[in-house]
Amino acid sequence: MAKRKMSIADFKDYKKRGQKFAYVTAYDYTMASIVNESDCEVILVGDSLAMVMLGRKTTVGITLDDMIHHIKPVVLGAPNTFVVGDMPFGSYNISAEQAIASANRILMETNCDCVKLEGGVEYKDTIAAMVKAGIPVMGHIGLTPQTATSLGGFRVQGGTPESAKKLIEEAKALEAAGAFSIVVECVPSVVAAALSKAVEIPILGIGAGPDVDCQVLVTQDMLDMYGDFKPKFVKHFAHIRKAMVDGLNAFHEETVSGVFPSEDIPLIKM
């Protein structure tokens, strides 16, 4: 039996009922279809594809067209999973009008369920304008990879009383602007717990400890597929990279030895 797809209303309802949920990434049709068969409720087509799929050092440089290209097949592959389309750097930081136009393209061309953008208080008016225009918006605070350089790199955020207070103010501002949920990345667990209590919308934590409403991980990280870097907060739930390499090596060995194709493999006949 196919799982029931989450709705925007479910996000707040899940929080009220204390029902946690899981949020992973996908960047293509095949991975999306695999997630769709799983119990995970939400997929992010993130600008992290710049690093995970394209081998770049940062998420900056991915274009709106790039994102739309990847979001489309994910939506097709995951009809029973809530799909979030990430807004890349440069697609919303000029004006609210630019943000609305970019989000309109993502939603209209891909049929995903919402957009996500990074930033705190400085984007509350932009988010408010987007929501007023009928665009469902997911926020993202804490470590914001698009501006990680200005934050001193990929480092924990909210580690001082002042910065923790600022994060709470940002979460409240995004909620007031109309965001229906907020990703909080790489913050101390005590701060994430305070954030979850400070707002009525779900806090979706990645590297933010256990006291949040939803856990977020990059699929290639959690399945041990991405070999370049492993964040400290990632747990390997499977070792798919090794299984794939082992399979490729077995194919190579049988090809070289002549074992494959064998008599039990049907051959194409004239």
- 185 carries an active-site annotation: yes
Alpha carbons within 13 A on the beta-carbon side of 100: 12
Contact 107/99 with Cβ under 8 angstroms?
no
Token reading at 31: 């991975």
Tell me how far apart the alpha carbons of residues 247 and 253 are, in angstroms, rounded to a whole number.
Answer: 10
Closest CA relative to residue 207, chosen from 227, 230, 223, 226: 230
Closest CA relative to residue 50, chosen from 34, 35, 65, 66: 66
Count CB neighbours of 50 within 10 A: 21
Q: How far is CA 201 from CA 46, 141, 243, in A?
A: 21, 14, 39
Output b/e per residue, 150-177; b: 16+ Cβ within 10 A: eeeeeebbbeeeeebebbbebbebbbeb
Which is the catalytic residue, given 185, 200, 254, 263?
A: 185
Find residue 44's DSSP bridge partners: 25, 84
The vertex-155 CA angle with 127 and 197, nearest 5°, equals 50
Looking at 161-266, which runs of residues are DSSP E strands?
A: 181-185, 203-206, 214-217
Strand pairing class (214-217; 203-206): parallel
Among all residues, which ones are annotated catalytic?
185
